[in-house]
Amino acid sequence: MAPVTKTSSRLLVGAALAIVPLLGLAGVASADTQAVNYTCQGKAAGQTSNLTLQQNVDSTAPATVAPGGALTITLAPGVNTVPTAAGSFTVKSVKNMTLSVPVPANATVNSFSLSGGSGIGSATVAQVGNNIVTSVTGPINGGAQFQLPALTLNLTAGESGSITTTLAGTSLSDPGLKFTTTVSVFGFPIDAPTVCYPNPAPTLTTTTIG
């Protein structure tokens, strides 16, 4: 029985990682679209699996801003669908998503807000340290469509330099994207947590002060 259990554990981690590409920001017209490479790791039942994936990110920001002036940056996710299966396992749901965006240098945060979104349960946004973190509770059932809410940042520019935006995360121990996938294994629900970070960290927008 031991070999069967070990194989199932590896497949379970793969099932969790199969959900990762659904969580990128994509789908709406914007000033800039980039492909971001993520390094991810999933763990379940004592097994670990690694994955590299690519995800598009759409973003909007002004090209220039006056010193001390106001500016708005928006990240707007598109509609995605949770798969019904991952490998040989049935995907029951995805839950507890968090996506972190660092507060950019040379700017002060005045406010931030979420808008839109559907099929995600409840969504909240908060500043945690130097990150603005969007949290979605779910659960989002396998086969269901969902849309993460758009994140809007209202900032005040500093006196000089530039304001750049990126995605949080520098390593597997400092992830910027986290979520849990619940899969059915022999009829039992099993949670598989997954963490990801952008590698390399992208420059999504650049606004010149002056």
* pLDDT of amino acid 1: 31
The model's confidence at residue 16, banded by pLDDT at 50, 70 and 90, is: very low
Average of per-residue pLDDT values in the chain: 79
Query: What's the whole-number mean pLDDT along residues 142-160?
Result: 90
Greater confidence (189 vs 106) lies with: 106
> Of 41, 42, 37, whose CA–CA distance to 53 is shortest?
37
* pLDDT of amino acid 72: 96
* pLDDT of amino acid 148: 78
Q: For the chain, which domains are there?
A: 2-206 (2.60.40)
Residues 62-100: pLDDT tens digits? 999 999 999 999 887 767 777 776 656 777 888 998 989
**Does 10 have pLDDT greater than 80?**
no
> Of 108, 113, 96, whose CA–CA distance to 179 is shortest?
96
Greater confidence (35 vs 117) lies with: 117
Residues 172-210: pLDDT tens digits? 999 998 888 887 878 888 888 888 898 999 888 889 999
Percent above pLDDT 70 for the chain: 76
Percent above pLDDT 90 for the chain: 40
**Does 55 have pLDDT greater than 70?**
no
**Does 28 have pLDDT greater than 90?**
no
Strands 205-209 and 64-65: parallel
